[in-house]
Amino acid sequence: MTRPLGRFLLAAVIAALPQPGAAQETQPADAGLPGVTSYAPPRQESALAAGEGELTLAAQLTEGGPDLTRGLVWRVFATEAGPDGKLPLIAQGQGGTSTFPLPPGSYLVHAAFGRAGATKKITVGRGAQRENLVLEAGGLKLDAVLAGNRRIPARKLEFSIYDSETDANGDRAAIIEGVPPNTVVRLNAGTYHVVSRYGQVNAVVRSDIRVEAGKLTEATVEHHAAELTLKLVREPGGEAIADTSWSIVADSGDPVREAVGAYASMVLAEGEYTIIAKNRDRIYQRDFTVVAGQNQEVEVLATDGTAADAADAADTAD
Is the pLDDT at 17 greater than 80, yes or no? no
End-to-end CA, the chain:
25
Last residue of a domain, one of 223, 256, 291: 223
Q: Residue range 138-149: average pLDDT?
A: 93
Instruction: Please tell me whether residues 261 and 312 are part of one structural domain.
Output: yes
Does residue 25 form part of some domain? no
Higher per-residue pLDDT: 109 or 147: 109
Last residue of a domain, one of 223, 253, 284: 223
Does residue 21 form part of some domain? no
The SS3 assignment for 85 reads: coil
- What does the DSSP 8-state code read for residue 154? G
CATH label of the domain that carries residue 184: 2.60.40
Summarised one tens digit per residue, pLDDT across range 289-317 is 999 999 999 999 998 656 666 555 555 44
How many other CB atoms are there within 10 angstroms of residue 207's CB atom? 15
**E strands along 2-149, which residues?**
6-16, 39-40, 53-60, 72-78, 87-95, 98-102, 105-113, 116-124, 128-134, 137-146
Instruction: Please tell me whether residues 117 and 251 are part of one structural domain.
Output: no
Is the pLDDT at 70 greater than 90, yes or no? yes
| Contact between 172 and 163 (Cβ < 8 Å) | yes
Is the pLDDT at 44 greater than 50, yes or no? no
| Contact between 256 and 274 (Cβ < 8 Å) | no
Is the pLDDT at 102 greater than 60, yes or no? yes
Give the separation between CA 225 and CA 191, rounded to whole angstroms. Answer: 27
pLDDT band at 52 (very low <50, low <70, confident <90, very high): confident
Is the pLDDT at 5 greater than 50, yes or no? no
Is the pLDDT at 172 greater than 70, yes or no? yes
pTM: 0.81
Q: What confidence score (pLDDT) does residue 1 get?
A: 40
Instruction: Please tell me whether residues 148 and 121 are part of one structural domain.
Output: no
| Contact between 77 and 90 (Cβ < 8 Å) | yes
Instruction: Please tell me whether residues 308 and 284 are part of one structural domain.
Output: yes
